[in-house]
Amino acid sequence: MPPDLPHHYDEKELLRLVAGGDEDSFRVLFEKYQDKVFKVACKYLKSASLAEEVVQDVFIKLWFQKETLTGIDYFSTWLQTLARNHIIDFMRKLDVRSAADRQWAYNAGQEENTTDHKIRNAQYEQLVEKALGELSDQQRAVYKLAKEQGLTYDQIGEVLSLSPLTVKTHMQRALRSIRDFLKRHGEVYLLLLLMGK
């Protein structure tokens, strides 16, 4: 915990520190809320591994939007909205859009569609795409099948005619390459923390 935060820290102060790029404060925020995001994602995706990916992606996006945190009055609600939107997008990629819409219908809220939000999301997507561009063709194929289609290593092996062990090796190398890429672009702690899990 950051030295200037008491044990019972003030969340507004914590958000201010995260907004300023303080990595220790971000870790406190991550550790406090990761389980909540995981449980919600697991409930709808019915998969612990996919839920872990959602946690990673949500907190990566949070880091990219950290400058806006000081203007948030109810962080838990804001994070729930961020997680909800990401889970819906994730489920759409898994071709279950209608199920996602039904699951979240009771909790419908206006999605954040500000220009800043769109710009940050675009920057995030561009950075990830650049990182994927540095992978080998095989690594990129494995990563996309796992992350975008939610296939298991066995299923990916069948698609690419590879053994599950080879698929796992390609995935590990792909993640390592992406971590290194994002580390070179200044997001050091974030990727070590989230993608290194």
Domain boundaries, the chain: 1-112, 114-188
**Which pTM was predicted?**
0.49
73 or 35, higher pLDDT: 35
174 and 139 in contact (C-beta within 8 Å)?
Answer: yes
For residue range 145-163, list pLDDT tens digits in order.
887 778 888 898 888 898 9
The b/e string for 62-84 (b: 16+ C-beta within 10 A; e otherwise) is bbbbbebbeebeebeebbbbbbb
Q: What is the mean pLDDT of residues 21-48?
A: 88
Give whole-number Cα distances, 131 to 49, 144, 184, in Å. 22, 12, 11
Name all contacts of 48-53 with Cβ < 8 Å and 24+ positions apart: 50/90, 50/150, 52/197, 53/90, 53/147
Q: Determine the pLDDT at residue 194.
A: 47
**CATH 3.30.1300.10 correct for 114-188:** no
At the topology level, CATH places domain 1-112 in: Rna Polymerase Sigma Factor; Chain: A (1.10.1740)
Residues above pLDDT 90, as percent of the chain: 10
CB-based contact 178:196 (threshold 8 Å): no
**Total Cβ atoms within 10 A of residue 3:** 5
Rounded mean pLDDT of 69-89? 86
The pLDDT, as a whole number, for residue 197 is 42
**Residues ≥6 apart with Cβ < 8 Å to 89:** none
2-6, 31-35, 55-59, 60-64: range with lowest mean pLDDT: 2-6
Residue position matching structure tokens 């839920």: 51
- Return d(Cα 59, Cα 41) in angstroms, integer: 13
How many Å apart are CA 135 and CA 177, to the nearest integer? 7
pLDDT at 187 over 80: no
What pLDDT, on the 0 to 100 scale, is given for residue 196? 43
